[in-house]
Structure 1
Amino acid sequence: MKLLLWILGCFLQSLVGTCGKGVVFTKQPVNQTASQGNKVRLGCAVEGMSEPDIIWIKDGEKLYSTDQLFLTLGEQHWETSYSVRSVQQQDAGQYWCEVELHNQTFSSERAWITVEGVPHFLEEPQDVATFPNVPFNLSCSAVGPPEPVEVLWWLGGVQEGEPQASPSVLYVPGVNSSIKFYCEAKNTRGISVSRTGTAHIKVLPAAPVSLQILRMSDNITLSWIPGFTGHSELSTCIIQVVRLRKGPLSKHEVQVPPHLHVLTGLSSYSNYSVRVSCSNEVGPSPFSSLLHFVTPESVPSVAPKNLTFDLSEQQLSVQWAQLQEEELQGKLLAYKLQWTLGGETQEPLLFKENWARLSGGGRFFNASFQVSACTSVGCGPWSPPVLVLPASAQIQVGRSHMWVGLLLGLLVATVVGLLLTFVAQRRGKETQFGSAFKSPGAESSVFFTAAQSFSRNMTDLQESTLDALCINNELKDKLQDVLIPERLLTLGRTLGKGEFGSVREAILKTEDSSLQKVAVKVLKSDITSSGDIEQCLKEAAYMKDFNHPNVIKLIGVSLHKRPGQRLPIPMVVLPFMKHGDLHTFLLLSRLGEQPFDLSLKTLVQFMFDIARGMEYLSSKNIIHRDLAARNCMLNENMSVCVADFGLSKKIYSGDYYRQGSVSKLPVKWIALESLADNIYTAQSDVWAFGVTMWEIMTRGQTPYPGVENSEIYEFLIKGERLKKPADCRDDIYELMHGCWSPVPKCRPSFQQLVVQLEALHLGLSHTCPPKQPLLYVNLEGDEGELDRGGEAAGPKAPAWSFEAETTAEASSWSVPWQRQAEDEEKDWLMTGSRAALAIGGDYRYIVGPCGTTEEEETWRGRGEAENTTQEEVREDEDDIINF
């Protein structure tokens, strides 16, 4: 191809008579030496081309100059020059000119420009940090032209020795204090002076400053800023931690940088003090100021002990031992008393004290009671169940148990005696026959026993297994260990419906006989295709391997056997998400009967949670393909979990997936390349994440308002994108807009999004928004629930409760770093308050210690302060100042 182009070019050039003549340089650049500040000019002429493009090259780099001139010397003869009006040392180097003809480059001879002037430095003396009276060397190097160059040293304003040839090294035997120094370089053109350096004496570093907590969860992340380093790099830092008045001092030595450390193994809901000291070559710095903090609350670690009762016809008195502070791991909100009668669990009751009196003792006969302690985080384990019986019945039951034991013992003894008699008779017969009928030969006797008996009239009560489904063996093996027997599930109310079926609330009985609230995804009962069933189970198989706090995890799979049907219905068991999907939650904040504010920090936290979940999925080579606010769930801690993997695909090779068939897809969340070519990658999930960010910032608005689904592709291909939401910060919109780049590789990865959103969230953490009341939302809305005024609400009316906190940071899903005395609970018995939400569920009756309801009794007094008093803190500071 190149040959054909060359022949064609040659033919065209032949029309003007230039082909075959070649290119000739009639003038070449020549070497030049000039003094600094003077003008320099290089010339170059070429013959054999019409209007050539002559370029100048310096040290292999193309020069761009406005001073280049072109002169016509003939029809195909051109001359150009390159000039420097005031030449400097940086202009020195090798120059030549080049032209290009028929994809060939022709170069002139090369010439040097040499600049004479005062010396310029190749190496200047640098600052030095040293111990007192320790020798050190200083270096200085300078060049011309012209040469030679001599170096003269100045130390503390005094000349050191005689001039030396460059380069020069000055030996300093040592100094006792900080001192300045520099060198002079001299040639025939003049003198140049180097930078002024300083010899510092190494000293102890200063104490670290700005000791603070970056993150507080199960672990505490500390950060600090080092003080003055003492002219020596810091190597290690010592962190001293003490639990005030209750624990020994612990020390942690960490390498720096970074100036961060994660404290682990701290007790929950405890006061701690921490300080930091950093060391250099000289020694350790003083300690920083003490930082006091309180670790977050946790659920109680043990169940209340010694549950006892006293039953009479009028009332039932129940009492249990109080938990110790170490066992509570938080501030006690209430004791939750659960009772079961006739196999049915009754409405739980809450009590402030460790005892209760319930009227109507007869109704509790044969009831089983359990108790657990609850903090604002949740409730601890249940105590062993205690059966309520009258005193006489207990004695009678005890006697009955004694007689049953005696009868069982007698029966066992009788059976053992019969077995021994049978064995003895069998041995006697063998001996008798063996002596009377001795076999003449070595014949072997054959004995057999029936392995199993069958009855054709028995009913098959076996559970459905995965073998009953027409699915591939690989999928069957993957789900075998998460199969849950149907008898362990009790289905409740419907939480939502869709094309695939429905999601229902359920109770799962675990192996330790405890009950767990779950959500169950059930296929439609009219689905009989094994393909639809296999697609549902594939989604469950994806979720089985997930293990991330921001990705919903599979609990198990169960099979519902249908009478008269060949295939059972698969049911996918998932964790119960208390606050539902993120889209509904956002809509309620804006359009609910009682709208509430969501801070920017909370919205960014939602984005950060989703980005972390998607980063995890992309690391597992999972493409979600249906990321949206409706498919993100909010758990009881208000953390977002990515869910609904019905359209997900696992990539085993390459980095994309091409959809083979047309199906219903979420058009307004799909990337441009996916709409055009049905190609899905991790970057198309990033596009959907940007749309989800827009949903969060608009509190649940529908993307592209006014644009129909059929018009989305034309809308996007013209370069249009979602508009910036109202009150959205520029940096947040810039981040989401970057997710919608038409070039997939130009979009940020989820790993980059996690880093940027974390930085945004940390920046918001250090801001102090105006004090506002916080909103606690109970979305369960069952019948009989109390509203703010204590009156019964309708079945569709969710219960809301407002509760003031000392700072806007202290929310229902985050624990404040610093607890104040004002944080003590107010009206702790209000349904929907922090106490009831933390304990979980909806409570129609909140009962006082004497069996009265909230309307009949008003609690007086306030709990004791959650923080250690100021006097105690001062005492503890005195105790550890010298540790």
Structure 2
Amino acid sequence: MEIHLWIVLIFVQHTRGFHGLRFTKSPANLTVTQGNMARLGCAIEGLSEPEIVWMKDGEKVYSTDQMYINLDPHHWETFHTVKSVQQQDAGKYWCEVENYGAIISSEPAWITVEGVPHFVLEPQDVATFPGAPFNLTCTAVGPPEPVEVLWWLGGVMKGDFTPSPSVLIVPGVNDSIKFYCEAKNAKGVSVSRTGTVYIKVLPDSPTALHVDQVSDNMTLMWTPGFTGYSSLSTCTIQMSSSSRKKLKRPDKEVSVPPFQHTIEGLRSHSNYSVRIRCDNEVGSSPFSPWLDFQTPESVPSAAPKNLTFDLTEQQLSLTWAALREEELNGRLLAYKLQWNLGGESQEPFLFKENFAHFSGGGRFFNATFQVSACTVVGCGPWSRPVLITPASAMQTQTQREHMWVGLVSGLLVVAVFGLLLTVLVHRRGKETQFGYAFKTPGTESVVTFTAARSFSRQGPELPESTLDSLGINDDLKTKLQDVLIPERLLTLGQMLGKGEFGSVREAFLKMEDSSMQVAVKVLKTDISTSSDIEQCLKEAAYMKDFHHPNVIQLIGVSLHRRPQQRLPIPMVILPFMKHGDLHTFLLMSRLGDEPFTLSLQTLVQFMLDIARGMEYLSSKSIIHRDLAARNCMLNENMTVCVADFGLSKKIYTGDYYRQGSVSKLPVKWIALESLADNVYTTQSDVWAFGVTMWETMALGQTPYPGVENSEIYEYLIKGERLKQPPDCPVEVYEIMHSCWSPVPKCRPSFQHLIAQLDGLWAGLPPTPAKEPLLYVNMDGEVDSGLGAGPGTTVSGEPLRAVPWQCVGMEEDEKDWLVGSSGSVLAIGGDYRYITGPCNVMDGDGGHSEDGLSEDTRDEDIINV
């Protein structure tokens, strides 16, 4: 109760204070001559220490010399002083005090400044047509009044002083001219700003024309040029569908501003050219230069048509119509073939061409096939499903008719044959050259046969082949003798991959109590010289001594004997790599039916595995010469093993190898000095390792996208290098970039690369556990060296091309160091290994037994 009374007493006191608060003095109106001092004052009663604020035209006036005079204990007076009054000091002034959220104001007062005239409206610039009349206006005020105005046009006085405001009527001018006005009163004369009369002309063409948000819709933006002293009203857009042919589309007129326009309905993956002109009151500007641009790719808009099949017991062939360019909406990545058998979806296939061939046609009975075209963006709609049946309805009807005719004819033949047989049986038995066919007739007829000699429909079994039959040198025979495996222990399966010198097949190697799944590298059947066979077996000889977890190991060598052939076919037996080659694995992470994410930790681990394998090979004095993601294999533990030593060379003297003869080499992975002089060292393998790192971070894209093989040397010699892939950390790019120094000895060693990558991997945050990876195996249609079997599943700013430096560099080596000359547009992924199938034919056909056509070529391998 006492607290409540205390609150009430305080409220009453505050209320009394508020009601007793009042201004006892308000500022008075002042008329001050310009340059003199002005002083305003006000007083307030009712507060012990008031905060009095001066206001001018609604804004607070900040003063550093405001004075307070205490008249009584609760009565205060303050002043606001302007020491030298100018025209801008003229205005309405008052005082304000805030008390418990309420604002109390004094009466207002005005300061009026006497002096030379003050311009309220100065003459503005004018834009007009030649000879067209126009008006100029000038307004000035005092005090003191009156104020008179005099006009000057082109340096010439126009008339005499007239009262303000003043309007000057100009009948017209033909050239640009200056003007101003003078204002005078009893205090003196003021001069306005100088204005200009501009003559309107045609505008200049737009500049800074560029395209943004290119897709089906495109936003065109530009900067207007000189407007010709007249506002731009519209702009006209001209567009053609090709920068070369200039096939014009209808002109589009748009209102401006804003200086941008969205164009809809553009075709994907198409070239366009655009230019713009703008209009003012006088007319149209010239057109801007043509701007060429290309719309990005998109998924195909149509499904492949006319999907048909041809089925035999041995083979299923499918064909379909290729999509037209306007339907494709991009570059064809592959045709995707999906199929369903027994109500269950099967692993899809990818083909570059519009046909497919499968061996073993019987396994596809009652299967349903559909095909879709795919670009780098994705796959388009599916074709209508086609059911694979043994024969069409028409063929079935024809076969039935032929069956009835055959049946009737057969019955007649059997009847005649039975009649003749009955006659012969009743007559007598007859001795043949093979024995007695019939015995003499008795009470019971028994048919017997006694063979005089036997024969076989098959030829004699071919003898087991030996290394002596190959015609290779003795040293190579000695190295391979203890790893020779009899052919009878191998059971070859389907093809896993194919290459320049042969194919890789799935196989089973018979052991003592079991069999082991292996991969067998089979030399191409039409390579029949001892030198070619020796080249294949040298790879096996290298691998015989390899014992490292990141280098593929040799299981053995077998020889396949061929009828009527002098030389057997060598077969190199290698471990079966469950997850196939690294390139395909990376590619399927982006383009597979079920794409999956590979963490940075996983990608760096892949690089570490490769570096460790290459360090081991270099310690064995082996130059690989063909290091690439396609030649690195993934085993069941997701460990990368370096493989495919078809181009490898052992260094017996010195530390380099010089390529002496013409051979097929992977241009985009070859070091600069190797391209120039055919010299290969461990440092050139380091260069290839850097390119392989780039492949890994780019998830299987082709190196140097947009640069042809024939242009690679010129591209590199200018100092250009592979650009930083998207989502690639700068630290990783710096490591791969160091591998591409033009001076070989400036490149890091594999031992140093291992240390760098190991430190980088250790510093990465741990990866959360994820679902097992899945990807589509292309069942032998991938150029993988040692591919996975069918249906296999598995559980800042980029650095620019800058000169490289290193300690100990010779003067002549510095000639290699050239600065960057620009960047290259990245235009897509690596599609080399999504290949068209090869039909397996007899020896008389156009294809070899392993299904590798003579015309098969790798677009990134050229003769050097």
Larger radius of gyration: 2
Q: TM-score, normalised by structure 2?
A: 0.48
Q: TM-score, normalised by structure 1?
A: 0.47
